[in-house]
Amino acid sequence: MTSLREKMIKEMTLRRLSANTQRSYLEAVTGLARYHNQSPEKINSQMIKDYLFYLLQERKLQWGSCNVIVCGLRFFYTKILGVDPESLNIPPQKKVRKLPEVLSTEEIGCLLGAASNQKHRTLLMSTYAAGLRVSEVVNLKLTDIDSKRMMIRVRQGKGNKDRYTILPKRLLKELRIYWKRYRPSLWLFSGRKPEQPMPKSTAAAIYYNAKDKAGIKKGRGIHTLRHCFATHLLEAGVDLRTIQVLMGHSSIMTTVVYLKVTRKQISATQSPLDLLNIPENKKFPKQ
């Protein structure tokens, strides 16, 4: 391990950056160094721009992916090398905000019904029923299921924050059936090795497989189930503040986005077309 890499790891650890963030930042610096075949401390701002241009134009990465790389590079050069942020001169990019795709309750039922076995069904049901991120559901432990208080404890979610979310009766029943059949010991959903949690990629593959079997075309990934949880709660009349707490959002403005996709809010709005008094159809002359 180089001294710069070791220094960067120490600095990220002291700032309590998550393991995923640390990994992404290190990969960002490594990718830049490999592209120019130089030590990162010898790379200037123009070379950084050339690398970003390569990622966008040749590798066709979305800006969301490039933005993570930019954050990693900015951290390295400003916090580790002490470079003035202004001198980096990395042009800011307008973030494209897309509304989440939401499945109907009927589609959720079809998706869960299409799961290939009890473990897969329970994993998908847990993700939807509790509004979990994929990293949160695969890291659930048996001790996180509190059946007496009907709550699920989410340990070190996004931003290294703990929170509690709901444990529906239907999910608890499914979890008991699952436990009797699979007898997990530590992790609720273990990988091939019982002492390790299921990889996130495996959970994502389970979702895509069930979605394909159910013939559902919507939904970009397993995170769709978390979007559905929030939207369906909102449509059921649950207030935004409660949904914010259950989702673990730092700002309620993040939760407000679900107002833009809720069927209850949009369908209840009357179009001005319905207010018009339009004569009945008549035969129009041929063009």
213-256 tens-digit pLDDT: 999 998 889 999 999 999 999 888 899 999 999 999 888 888 88
Residue of 133, 211, 227, 232 marked active site = 133
SS3 of 22, please?
A: helix
Distance CA 231, CA 161 (A): 23
- Torsion angle of C-alpha atoms 247, 221, 234, 142, degrees rounded to 10: -40
The answer to whether 36 is a known catalytic residue is no
- What are the DSSP calls for 206-269, one per residue? HHHHHHHHHT----SSTHHHHHHHHHHHHHTT--HHHHHHHHT-SSHHHHHGGGGT-HHHHHTS
Strand partners, 163: 154
Give the strand pairing for 151-157 and 145-146.
Answer: antiparallel
Each residue's pLDDT tens digit, 175-222:
999 999 999 989 999 998 888 999 999 999 999 999 999 999 988 899
The answer to whether 5 is a known catalytic residue is no
How would residue 282 be classed by pLDDT, with cut points 50, 70 and 90? low
The answer to whether 227 is a known catalytic residue is no
AA letter at 48? I
Q: Are 113 and 125 in contact (CB under 8 A)?
A: no
Q: Which residue has the tokens 């990934």?
A: 221
Distance CA 82, CA 37 (A): 22
The answer to whether 183 is a known catalytic residue is no
Strand partners, 141: 187
Q: Are 273 and 112 in contact (CB under 8 A)?
A: no
| Structural domains of the chain ordered from first start | 3-88 (1.10.150.130), 105-265 (1.10.443.10)
Q: CA angle, 90 as apex, 24 and 28 as ends, to 5°?
A: 15
Residue of 119, 120, 226, 232 marked active site = 226
Confidence (pTM): 0.72
